[in-house]
Homo-oligomer: A and B are copies of this chain.
Amino acid sequence: MNKIDTVSENLNSLSKNKSLYVIKIGGNVIDNSENLYHFLKDFEALDGFKILVHGGGKVATQIAEELGIEAKLVDGRRITDIETLRVVTMVYGGLINKNIVAQLQRFGNNAIGLTGADGNFILAKKRPVKTIDYGFVGDLDEKSIDPENISRLLEAGFTPVFCALTHNGEGQLLNTNADTIASALAVALSSLYDTTLIYCFEKKGVLQDINDEDSLIRDIDPERYEELKTRRIIHSGMLPKLDNAFTAISCGVKAVIIGKSDDLGQLKDNKPFGTRLSKNA
């Protein structure tokens, strides 16, 4: 083994076992300034490396309306035409992203706000037109994210804050689902870090009884998941969410947590938070 190999080996063993949280927030946090304030304070207090991913929220819809741009739907699916892309670039990439960054800086977190175009961090492919033309929507694959590239930012002391925008590498920005971005980041970076993916959700987590917030299921492993599906305790809207979570886990993510942003602080105090999905409950 030559010197360079030894150094690279040492660097690898140094960064392995370092923990990383990839946390996704959506409209229920972004649209409420009090929720957002508390979430960002709790986010800042978490130890280890962190990446924040945020979606849109009502403000994008509101600004689109003010600019006279109507939401385009085809067969109930939202279409990103060029006008809508302009609005989400302004609102996600500018207004929401930069205000989150300024807040995190205030709390002492060295945040840096990004789209997938910045640093070529997330390279997407424009969704091919089949029955529906989704417009400027980007899909991700296993080559979309180079973990070493993002690791350089993390190791330099920055906290990346990604909005729901990517690019195709040919000058075109693309709209990409924030849940998908969070999951792809967690999977890619699990090769370098012990990665936990957290989805902030409007409920406390996966509930036995959807009307009873006290019926939270704390841990789900693949076996338990099968049982909960069979008993139809988990059904409809939760199924794709949890299927995606278990896919991320089978691709190297240590655990996926689904929980309420208000409760994020419990993680810092080593208390249970939300529903934890992992290989072994």
Contacts and interface: CB of A to CB of B under 8 A. Distances in A.
Interface residues of A, number: 42
Contacts of A173: 98-99, 102
Contacts of A112: 112, 114, 118-119
Interface in A108-132: 110-115, 117-120
A121 B7 CA distance: 31
A160 to B, nearest CB: 10
B66 A105 contact: no
Number of copies: 2
Interface stretch (A13-21, A88-96, A228-236, A254-262): A88-96
A5 interface: no
Contacts of A169: 105-106
Nearest to A37: B171
A76 interface: no
A265 to B, nearest CB: 19
A2 B157 CA distance: 26
A158 interface: yes
Nearest to A121: B112
A97 to B, nearest CB: 8
A167 B95 contact: no
18 contacts: A89-B95, A90-B94, A90-B95, A93-B95, A94-B95, A94-B97, A98-B173, A102-B117, A102-B171, A102-B173, A105-B167, A106-B170, A112-B114, A112-B118, A113-B118, A119-B158, A152-B156, A152-B157
Across the A-B interface, give the 4 residue pairs with the lowest CB-CB distance, nearest first.
A94-B94, A90-B90, A106-B171, A93-B94
Interface of A: 63, 66-68, 86, 89-95, 97-99, 101-103, 105-106, 110-115, 117-120, 152-153, 156-158, 165, 167, 169-173
